[in-house]
Amino acid sequence: MSIEPRTVTLATSDHGDVTLPEPAWCAGCSHHDPETQRADLIQVGPPVECIYLGRELLAAEILQSL
């Protein structure tokens, strides 16, 4: 098992390619728009739903602004 931190490289409109650490809970960056500015980069965790009697009451995600 590697102890190196995971990283992701994302294209930005104002700083070019930016390499960032990627937490284990991050669901990936498939939604990334290359026209995003570096200040607007976020990491998103997978959605978690709260269901009661077969009906969704709420959903939540972990977000981290970079």
Q: Note whether 59 and 44 are within 8 A (CB).
A: no
Q: Where are the domains of the chain?
A: 7-65
pLDDT of residue 13: 93
Q: Could you give phi then psi for residue 39, rounded to 5 degrees? A: -65, -20
| Alpha carbons 28 and 45: distance in angstroms, whole number | 8
- Any idea what the Cα angle at residue 32 is, between residues 30 and 36, rounded to 5°? 175
The predicted-structure confidence for 14-52, as pLDDT tens digits, reads as follows: 999 999 998 888 888 777 888 999 999 988 899 999 999
- Distance between CA atoms of residues 66 and 63, nearest Å: 10
Element (H, E) at 52: strand 48-52
Q: Is the pLDDT of residue 66 over 80?
A: no
